Structure 1
Amino acid sequence: MSDRRQTQDDITRGTDWLAGAGLRPTRQRVTLAALLVGDGENRHVTAESLHAAAQRSGTGVSLATVYNTLRAFCDAGLMQEVTVDGSKSYFDTRTDDHPHFYWEDTATLTDAPSGELQITRLPRAPEGAEIASVDVVIRLRRTSSRPD
């Protein structure tokens, strides 16, 4: 996340983002929303990285508050949670269906080009169940570059 100073435009954009989902604009929510969408860019964050950005901005928000706020943002449809493995979750401000690249060496999540992914068929869900979503996370590792 960028360490640039938050502007009034960032705060306004964050407040509008919350209002669009019907969430009450508490001080903590507005602060975190401004960090997430204030510059109009999409973000992939962990609770820890958002907490660190909030601390750098001078905001006294606890890690527990960040976790609870991210959950509230997901419940309101403002973000989606992307689980990379059983213990690591990222939160994405882009909520449409799209694949992700997970860079193993830097533990970062980025969007992958949707137009290049082809899923031609999914298996039928077992009786009494329905498919709720399909998450595509493509794990990447850097290759060594060798001159020919």
Structure 2
Amino acid sequence: MSTVPHSSDLLPVDEARALLRDHAISPTEQRVEIARVMFARHQHLSAEQILAQLVRHDSRVSKATVYNTLNLFAEKGLVREVLIDPAKLFYDSNLNPHHHLFHTDTGELEDVDPARVDLSDLPPLPEGKALQGVDVIIRVGRPRS
């Protein structure tokens, strides 16, 4: 699910603009271009993957603009940040509760239905704290020799 969409899979411009306006984000040309890639379907994309897709479409969006826009999308609740390790951050357009399966050998990230992961025995929470969420990342790869 981490593949970048083909041009025919881009979100239509009017839908991208409406989505941004619905989340109180000014729909600048660059933000709309990024939204067209990110929200074409439920997917996990890194900033670099989005930038590569934009470059393929002759977009002039800078790397800094991609990062700033993705941070804004996360702040406004449009995407969920999935931190695989300190050097690997994906942006997930699927905001429904779910966990992830990360393929260490290919870099692919897949959704895992939360019903498939048993979290019934969590430790007690510190006093005055409420559970805000649990993110499970299951890492898989080729067996080590």
Aligned residues: 141
Measured in 2, the distance between the counterparts of 1:6 and 1:119 equals 36
Q: Name 2:58's counterpart in structure 1.
A: 58
Match of 2:93 in 1: 93
Change (3 A) 1:85 1:6: closer
Partner SS state of residue 110, structure 1: strand
- 1:1-148, aligned counterparts within 5 Å? 1-5=4-8, 10-38=12-40, 41-127=41-127, 129-142=129-142
Once the two structures are TM-superposed, the CA of residue 127 in structure 1 deviates from its matched residue by 3.7
Give TM-score scaled by structure 1 length: 0.85
Which residue of structure 2 lines up, in the alignment, with residue 146 of structure 1?
none
TM, length-normalised to structure 2: 0.87
Query: Which 4+ stretches in 1 moved above 4 angstroms?
Result: none
Cα deviations by residue, 1:44-86 (Å, 9 ceiling, x for unpaired): 0101111111111111111111110000000010000010112
Q: Percent identity?
A: 33
- Measured at CA, do residues 6 and 61 of structure 1 come closer, stay the same or move farther in structure 2, by a change above 3 Å? farther
Deviation at 1:128, TM superposition (A): 5.1
5+ residue gaps, structure 1 = 144-148
Larger RCO, structures 1/2 (Cα 8 Å, 6+ apart) = 2
Amino acid at match of 1:10: P
CA-CA distance at 1:91 after TM superposition: 0.5
Give 1:2's aligned amino acid.
P
Alpha-carbon RMSD? 2.0
